[in-house]
Amino acid sequence: LLLLNFSSQSSKRSSPCFYLTLFQHYLPEGHRCYSCVHCRANLASHNDLISKVRSNIISKYLRTVVNIGTGPAEERVLLTGLHAVADIYCQCCKTTLGWKYEHAFESSQKYKEGKFIIELAHMVKDNQWEDGKKRKSI
């Protein structure tokens, strides 16, 4: 959610001034989710985990995320070939968390476009995990 505030106060310059206010998005209470380990902002619902097989011991592969900012896309050679990816960061604490697949150059990798990778070092499990603990390191 983005709120623009316009000020009508007069100044030497007659152009209106504005500032941005960003609000943190909270995932529904009682659902398993992943949060930023640094500031505890919600990042993704466990339901948005694409595949436990594709996710590995160092990262999670996700369909949708919240409270994320995106840097500029750049071409990188990854294990599965050349991709255009953009670093993603926590909108609340500005820590780089992983990347977003913007474009896959190989047709076999097109399914990754628009998906997200978040490194486990930057995530914790929150809310209603089987062990009953509210917050648990991954």
In the prediction, which pLDDT does 15 show? 56
Question: For residue 13, is it within any domain?
Answer: no
Residue 18 lies in a domain: no
Q: How far, in whole angstroms, is CA 21 from its chain's centroid? A: 18
**Into how many domains does the chain fold?**
1
DSSP summary character for residue 57: S
* CATH at residue 101: 2.170.150.20
State residue 7's pLDDT score: 43
Q: What is the pLDDT along the chain (138 residues), one digit of tens a residue?
A: 444 444 444 445 555 555 554 568 888 877 889 999 999 999 999 999 987 655 567 888 899 999 999 999 999 999 899 999 999 999 999 999 999 999 999 999 999 999 999 999 999 998 766 654 444 455
Does the residue 58 lie in any domain?
yes
Q: Would 83 be classed as within a structural domain? A: yes
Predicted pLDDT at 1: 41
Give CA–CA dist 87/138, Å, rounded: 21
Q: What is the reported pLDDT for 4?
A: 46
**Beta-ladder partners of 89:** 69, 96
Asked if residue 106 lies in contact with residue 50, where contact means CB atoms within 8 angstroms, the answer is no
Asked whether 69 and 89 are in contact (CB, 8 A), the reply is yes
- What per-residue confidence (pLDDT) applies to 91? 94
Length of the chain: 138
Does the pTM surpass 0.85? The reply is no
For residue 44, give its domain range.
26-137
